[in-house]
Homo-oligomer: A and B are copies of this chain.
Amino acid sequence: MKENSFILKGNICYAGTKDRLAIAEGGYLVCVQGRSCGVFPVLPEKYRGLPVTDYQSCLIIPGLVDLHTHGPQYPFRGLGMDLELLEWLETHTFPEESRYEELAYARRAYGMFAEDLKASATTRAVVFGTIHVPASILLMELLEAAGIKAFVGKVNMDQNCTEQLREQDAEKALADTRQWLADTMGSFQNVRPILTPRFAPTCSGPLLEGLGELQREYGLPVQSHLSENLSEIDWVKELFPWSGCYGEVYEHYGLFGGEALTVMAHCVHSTEPEVELLRQKGVYVAHCPQSNINLSSGIAPIRRYLDKGIRVGLGTDLAGGAAMSMFRCMADAIGASKLYWRLVDQDSRPLTMEEAFYLATKGGGAFFGQVGSFEEGYELDALVLDDTGIRTTRALGTRERLERYIYLAEEGGRLAGKYVAGQEIFRQNICG
C-alpha cells in the first residue's frame, strides 16, 4: 500500500465552480500519495485495494484556507475591540508582539496557537510572526509538527513603531531576514518562509528595496497589508508622496505580484487604479470581514473584485478578527457583503453561500497550488463534519447541511476528522 493513500466515504461536497457545489452523497473520495484521484459514486475497480474509512452520513469537504492571520496576536483575541486600527496597534498589538523576543514566552503562546489551529477547521494558513528570528523559527517548527501547511513570515519593520519592535535599521533587518531564510528554506515539509513587510508605513525605502532583492534572488512569496483603514492610507500617502496609490509602494519595490506570489490583506478602500494593479499583477486579496468590522475599517467590495477576476481568499486576521473559525469567517463574508449591498452599492449583489465556500477553499487554496478542491490532482486536504449536534426535525440535503454548518459550526458542529495533503491530523468517533 502506498503512503498517504486511502479512501474516505461520506457525503462529499466541494466547490465545483465559484457558483456551483459538486456533491456526491455516499460517494468515495480517493487519495493516492496525498493527492485526490477524484470523487466517485461507485468505487472504481483499480482502487479496491485501498483502505476505506466510512464516515457514514458525515459531510466531507475540502480543508479551509486562512489566507491571513497573526500567530503572535492569538493571546489577546477578543480584547480591545472598542478601538480603531492605529490605536489598537499601539495599545495591544505592539506591546504583545514585543514579548516574543523571549523564546520561553513564544513557546508558551505559539504552543497555544498551534494546538488550537490543529484542532480547528483550518488546514492551511498564511501567517505573520514577529520581527524575532528565533521565535519565528519556533512558530514554523510548531506548525510543522501540528501538520498544518503554512507560509510563515518573520516580520520586517524599521520605522514608525514602538522602539521595542523596531528593527535597528534596514541593513540589520535584511541581514536577520537572510539568516532566517537560510535557516528555514527547504527545512520543513509543511512550512515555508514568506517575505513579510508589516505594512508600508513601518518600512523604510531601503528595507523595501532590500526585500524586493531578496524576493528576486530566491523567488519568495510575499504577504502584507493594503488599504485597510482611511487614516492608514493618508499616512502612506504622506510617507510615500510619489506613489499613485498605496499598492504602488509595494509594486515599486517588486513586492506586488507578477513574478512574486503575493497576498495582500484587506483592500477595503482600494482606489480604482489600485484595483486595476491588483488585477494586472495577479495579487491575492485576503478578505478579512470580521477584522474589518471589529476595527471599524469598513467592508471590502468583494463582488467587484470577483467580477474583475481578481484572486480572492478569506482570512481571520487574528486578532483583529477574534474568531479562529473559518466557518465563522465565511458567514461573516456573506453578512458583510449583504450590508455592502444594502448600505453602499445596490448594484453589488451579496456573496452567495456557494461563493463564500469557494473563497474559503479553492479561492485561497490556489495560493498554495492545487489546493481547495477534490478534483483529480489536487492535494488532499479534507474535513469531516459531524452536524448531528445542530439539531433539526428536517431531513436535509447536502447543500442545506453545508449552509447550516457554515452558520452554526460553533453551535453544535463537530470536526470528526481532518486531513492535510493526505496526512491524517486527527480522527474522532464518527457520527450516527
List chain A positions with a Cβ less than 8 A from chain B: 75-79, 81-82, 105, 108-109, 112, 116, 290, 293-294, 296-299, 322-325, 331, 334-336, 338-339, 341-344, 350, 352-353, 390-394, 396, 400, 403-408, 410-411
- A-B contact list, 5 entries, CB within 8 Å: A290-B335, A293-B339, A299-B339, A322-B404, A323-B407
Pairwise interchain contact A403-B78, C-beta atoms closer than 8 A? yes
Q: Name A411's contact: one of B105, B325, B405, B408 (CB within 8 Å).
A: B325
A293 with B81, Cβ < 8 A, contacts A112-B391, A322-B407, A393-B75 known? no
Pairwise interchain contact A400-B109, C-beta atoms closer than 8 A? no
Pairwise interchain contact A296-B341, C-beta atoms closer than 8 A? yes
A350 with B82, Cβ < 8 A, contacts A323-B407, A339-B299, A411-B325 known? yes
Pairwise interchain contact B342-A78, C-beta atoms closer than 8 A? no
Pairwise interchain contact A81-B334, C-beta atoms closer than 8 A? yes
Stoichiometry (number of copies): 2
Rounded to whole Å, the gap between the CB of A120 and the closest CB of chain B is: 9
Q: Name A79's contact: one of B112, B350, B400 (CB within 8 Å).
A: B400
A76 with B394, Cβ < 8 A, contacts A82-B353, A323-B408 known? yes
Q: Name A78's contact: one of B82, B339, B404 (CB within 8 Å).
A: B404
- Please measure, in the bound complex, the distance between the C-alpha atom of A184 and the C-alpha atom of B109, giving whole angstroms: 55
What are the residues of chain B within 8 A of A394 when measuring CB–CB?
75-76
What are the residues of chain B within 8 A of A77 when measuring CB–CB?
404, 407-408
Pairwise interchain contact B338-A294, C-beta atoms closer than 8 A? yes
Q: Name A109's contact: one of B331, B393, B410 (CB within 8 Å).
A: B393
Q: Name A82's contact: one of B76, B322, B352, B392 (CB within 8 Å).
A: B352
- Please measure, in the bound complex, the distance between the C-alpha atom of A323 and the C-alpha atom of B331, giving whole angstroms: 11
Pairwise interchain contact A335-B392, C-beta atoms closer than 8 A? no
- Please measure, in the bound complex, the distance between the C-alpha atom of A374 and the C-alpha atom of B293, giving whole angstroms: 32
Extra inter-chain contacts (15) besides given A294-B335, A325-B411, A336-B339, CB under 8 Å: A75-B392, A77-B407, A78-B403, A78-B405, A79-B403, A81-B403, A82-B350, A108-B393, A116-B391, A296-B338, A296-B341, A296-B350, A299-B339, A323-B411, A410-B410
Pairwise interchain contact B76-A392, C-beta atoms closer than 8 A? yes
A338 with B403, Cβ < 8 A, contacts A392-B76, A410-B411 known? no
A342 with B75, Cβ < 8 A, contacts A81-B334, A81-B407 known? no
- Please measure, in the bound complex, the distance between the C-alpha atom of A42 and the C-alpha atom of B169, giving whole angstroms: 55
What are the residues of chain B within 8 A of A105 when measuring CB–CB?
393
Q: Name A293's contact: one of B325, B335, B352, B403 (CB within 8 Å).
A: B335
Pairwise interchain contact A343-B392, C-beta atoms closer than 8 A? no
Rounded to whole Å, the gap between the CB of A164 and the closest CB of chain B is: 17
What are the residues of chain B within 8 A of A76 when measuring CB–CB?
392, 394
* In the complex, residue of chain B having the shortest beta-carbon distance to the beta carbon of A392: B75
- Please measure, in the bound complex, the distance between the C-alpha atom of A324 and the C-alpha atom of B412, giving whole angstroms: 11
* In the complex, residue of chain B having the shortest beta-carbon distance to the beta carbon of A110: B393
- Please measure, in the bound complex, the distance between the C-alpha atom of A322 and the C-alpha atom of B407, giving whole angstroms: 7
What are the residues of chain B within 8 A of A406 when measuring CB–CB?
78
Rounded to whole Å, the gap between the CB of A329 and the closest CB of chain B is: 12
What are the residues of chain B within 8 A of A75 when measuring CB–CB?
392-394
Pairwise interchain contact B299-A343, C-beta atoms closer than 8 A? yes
Rounded to whole Å, the gap between the CB of A45 and the closest CB of chain B is: 39
- Please measure, in the bound complex, the distance between the C-alpha atom of A50 and the C-alpha atom of B408, giving whole angstroms: 41
Q: Name A404's contact: one of B79, B293, B392 (CB within 8 Å).
A: B79
